[in-house]
Amino acid sequence: MTEKLKNIKMLVMDVDGTLTNGKVFYSKNGEEVKVFSIRDGMGIELLRKGGIMTAIITSENSEIVTARANKLNIEHVILGSRNKKQDLKDLSLKVGISIDSMAFIGDDINDIQAMQVAGIGACPKDSTEQVLMIADYICTHEGGNGAVRELAEKILLSQNKQITLPESW
């Protein structure tokens, strides 16, 4: 696993159940609200500072996801995906890196094919049973509660990169 982590140049993330806990709240006006982890956000920042690209591929088509991606400076965001495996392959070509140098973290059956073609397929500990069975790495944290941060730190540590921000941050 450590050898695979050393080669990761991009972390691609699912949203619901991975960057969030999978719950959605609706206001009385029908507005959707999702909760994201600040620690996961810092993990994404640490990856960027460490030279690791980040991306989102989600089946959702949500302004909430776009807003979170903008806040975290995630450059590559694919919304409304109906084939995450193909979208991951297309992203690999777009950014000019091998799919083997991409890690994908997801939590449900629509993430499995992308997890299987990525260099590393990871998942939060509260993922569906089918995902847990095929994951290369199962985080000790749940979705929306530090799983992405955990994987980010594993990637950075395997590449002997700092998991702290520079003073000028």
Q: What is the DSSP string of the chain?
A: -HHHHHT--EEEE--TTTTB-S--EE-TT--EE--B-HHHHHHHHHHHHTT-EEEEE-S---HHHHHHHHHTT--EEE-S-S-HHHHHHHHHHHHT--GGGEEEE--SGGGHHHHHHSSEEEE-TTS-HHHHHH-SEE-SSPTTTTHHHHHHHHHHHHTT--SS--TT-
Confidence at residue 164, expressed as pLDDT on a 0 to 100 scale = 75
Q: pLDDT-derived band of residue 3, with 50, 70 and 90 as boundaries?
A: confident
Share of the chain above pLDDT 70, in %: 97
Share of the chain above pLDDT 90, in %: 91
Read off the amino acid at residue 130.
Answer: Q
Tens of pLDDT, residue by residue over 96-106, are: 999 999 999 99
Q: What is the mean pLDDT of residues 68-82?
A: 97
Tens of pLDDT, residue by residue over 22-73, are: 999 999 999 989 999 999 999 999 999 999 999 999 999 999 999 999 999 9
User: Would you kindly state where each structural domain of the chain is located, as residue ranges?
Assistant: 2-158
> What's domain 2-158's architecture?
3-Layer(aba) Sandwich (3.40)
Q: pLDDT-derived band of residue 1, with 50, 70 and 90 as boundaries?
A: confident
